[in-house]
């Protein structure tokens, strides 16, 4: 039987412990997870694509079943290029459901082979988001329990440069 691979797309600006939790849960179900960061020239990120990817490379160093990649344009086209049609997404709350449901159906309408699997994070990460992490950090709050150490370090560098 071929190895089962799933794609976990996202912005990852930056990676949080919530994403890591979903990846580890995903690896209970799949042999390999490809974590792929969106490169959207129309969007303003705090971290560049290179920085977002470097954080993930560092976090998952030595993990052969986790691949870090990026994509530009439609996720459906990326899945086609990878010849992998299983997408993993985390569902934190009902509020995530609407947009996720819409994206899953839109992706499937583009390509019927695309299947989206929703994983639920640990309750302790259910309120976590990259956006809130950045906001809390910016206003001097404590985020150490929410992100890997490297993200805490990179946020410090980022804001000291500003």
Considering the complex, state which of residue 10 and residue 24 has its C-beta at the smaller distance from ligand PNS: 10
Asked if 9 touches ligand PNS (CB under 6 A), the answer is yes
Helix (H) or strand (E) holding 119: strand 115-119
**Least distance between ligand PNS and beta carbon 29 (Å):** 19
> Cα–Cα distance between 138 and 107 in angstroms, integer?
35
Asked if 10 touches ligand PNS (CB under 6 A), the answer is yes
Considering the complex, state which of residue 75 and residue 155 has its C-beta at the smaller distance from ligand PNS: 75
Contacts to ligand PNS from residues 57-86, by CB under 6 A: 74-76
Cα angle vertex 130, ends 128, 133, to 5°? 75
SS3 8: strand
Among 17, 59, 107, 116, binds ligand PNS (CB under 6 A): 107
Q: Which residue has the tokens 């299947």?
A: 115
């Amino acid at each position: 039987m071929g190895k089962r691979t799933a794609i976990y797309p996202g912005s990852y600006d930056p990676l949080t412990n919530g994403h890591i939790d979903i990846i580890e849960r995903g690896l209970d179900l799949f042999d390999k997870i490809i974590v792929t960061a969106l490169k959207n020239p129309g969007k303003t990120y705090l971290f560049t694509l290179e920085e977002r990817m470097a954080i993930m490379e560092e976090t998952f160093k030595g993990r052969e079943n986790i691949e870090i990649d990026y994509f530009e344009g439609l996720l459906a086209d990326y899945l086609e290029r990878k010849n992998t049609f299983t997408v993993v997404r985390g569902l934190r709350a009902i509020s995530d459901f609407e947009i996720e449901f819409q994206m899953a159906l839109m992706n499937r309408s583009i390509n019927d082979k695309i299947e989206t699997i929703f994983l639920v994070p640990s309750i302790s990460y259910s309120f976590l988001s990259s956006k809130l992490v950045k906001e809390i950090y910016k206003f001097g709050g404590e985020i150490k329990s929410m992100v890997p150490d490297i993200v805490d370090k990179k946020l410090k560098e980022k804001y000291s440069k500003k």
